[in-house]
Amino acid sequence: MTNDEWQMTSLTDLEAIPYIDANGQLPAQFQGKVGVYAIFDSDKILQYIGYSRDIYLSFQQHLVRRSQKCYWLKVETIERPNRTVLENIRQAWIEEHGSVPPGNGAQAAEWTQPIDAKLSLASEEEKSLVDGDELTKMKILKAAARRVEAEILSQLQTRGLQMQLRFNPKLKEQGLLDLK
């Protein structure tokens, strides 16, 4: 079926699947798939609706960025990338839900932008960041990023995640965390 002939499934008609399965993996059937997805918290309250050319990679990014909000998924895939179709599905799901999910509104940056480890700096680190030379600043930012990374990986291990996640080392030098 082509995108033109395609009929959208309503959000309520889609089955909720666990974000992390019993084997500690993300749903592998979505690797390389184009589609729209809805993310729900542990109480199955809608948190975010997104779309991607590789929804599996997006699942990884969201899990790292908002691990405490990623427990359930609903997914609609399409055959070929088509931004208009994807945006129409997302908008229809938001309308069906009746309100904009937090991740598509006020919390959008937390779902879509790299994690800013600078927000976790101690006051003495902040002072060193202002007063230090470029090498000192880079070391402080990298250390903060590594600390936040360790916290995230620990939380995900507690949740049972068994897959390896690799963060972009270049971004750590800027105090940012995102998957590579």
Over residues 116-144, the pLDDT tens digits come to: 999 999 888 888 888 888 999 999 999 99
Model-level pTM? 0.91
Given a contact cutoff of 8 angstroms between Cβ atoms, the answer to whether 36 and 86 are in contact is yes
Given a contact cutoff of 8 angstroms between Cβ atoms, the answer to whether 30 and 57 are in contact is no
pLDDT at position 6, please?
Answer: 54
pLDDT at position 84, please?
Answer: 94
- Per-residue pLDDT reduced to its tens digit, 25-69: 999 999 999 999 999 999 999 999 999 999 999 999 999 999 999
pLDDT at position 108, please?
Answer: 97
More confident residue, 4 or 66: 66
Superfamily of domain 11-112: GIY-YIG endonuclease (3.40.1440.10)
Q: Give the Cα separation of 49 and 159 in Å (integer).
A: 22
Q: Would you list the domain boundaries of the chain?
A: 11-112, 115-177
Phi and psi torsions of 135, nearest 5°: -65, -45
166-171 long-range contacts, Cβ below 8 Å, gap at least 24? 167/64, 171/114, 171/145
- In degrees to the nearest 10, what's the CA dihedral of 97, 100, 101, 104? 140
